[in-house]
């Protein structure tokens, strides 16, 4: 397991804060109330370990395949439905939504290899990620992949806790399946808009792994 580069600054500041809090606790609290001092130490240590865990990149055997569409994120499948596309496309699409809790790995990966034909950031609200309007009203970043004449759209959507979406892709760029496409800090959601001909391979409530689980085939 390694730590994602997006976490270096956050972990460094959290470590400094952890040290300052516990040094002050040792000098001013431990003598008169050792139990409280221990509670502070254990609580702040737990928060620091959680933060480190949040930015983890576990070692995985990534899936690949020309006909396979791989999960772009870890999390639980919360939506599988036919929708009217509201961005880039002007037709109906199959939407597969993956909810990412703060405990999930938050690295986002390319679901297919191909060309990036669209990459756009949108400012917005911070509704809870499972809210029906979060995909159109929340802060989000939309990317469209084109491969062998077929296109699919990915939306990284901020949730109530997610305050920063990171996306590394630009229009015109060529990418490989399984490589990093971005990162979302804290709880969030990723929507995948597939053509109607795609065959969905997952079910609502299923837990998927980014870069590993095949969520659909062309």
Q: For residue 192, what are the β-bridge partners?
A: 96, 154
The half-sphere exposure of 176 on its side-chain side, counting CA atoms within 13 A, is 4
How many other β-carbons are positioned within 10 Å of the β-carbon of residue 112? 25
Tokens of 177: 């399946």
Q: Which of the residues 25, 97, 119, 188 is marked catalytic?
A: 188
134: left (phi over 0), alpha (psi -120 to 50) or beta: alpha
Q: Is residue 188 flagged as an active site residue?
A: yes
Question: Quick one: how far is CA 145 from the chain centroid?
Answer: 18
Q: Which residues are the active-site residues?
A: 188
């Amino acid at each position: 397991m390694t730590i994602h580069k997006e976490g270096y600054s956050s972990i460094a500041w959290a470590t400094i804060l952890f040290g300052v809090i516990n040094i002050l606790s040792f000098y001013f609290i431990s003598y008169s109330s050792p139990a409280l001092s221990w509670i502070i130490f254990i609580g702040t240590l737990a928060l620091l370990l959680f933060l480190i865990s949040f930015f983890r990149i576990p070692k995985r055997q990534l899936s690949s395949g020309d006909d396979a569409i791989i999960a772009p994120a870890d999390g639980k499948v919360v939506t599988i439905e036919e929708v009217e596309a509201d961005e880039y496309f002007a037709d109906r699409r199959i939407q597969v939504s993956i909810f990412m809790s703060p405990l999930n790995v938050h690295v986002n990966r390319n679901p297919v290899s191909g060309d990036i034909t669209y990459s756009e950031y949108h400012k917005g609200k911070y509704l809870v990620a499972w809210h029906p309007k979060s995909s159109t009203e929340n802060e989000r970043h939309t990317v469209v992949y084109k491969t062998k004449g077929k296109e699919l759209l990915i939306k990284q959507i901020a949730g109530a806790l997610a305050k920063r979406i990171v996306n590394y892709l630009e229009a015109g760029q060529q990418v490989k399946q399984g490589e990093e496409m971005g990162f979302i800090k804290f709880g969030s959601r990723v929507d995948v808009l597939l053509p109607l001909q795609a065959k969905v391979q997952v079910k609502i409530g299923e837990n998927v792994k980014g870069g590993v689980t095949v969520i659909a085939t062309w």
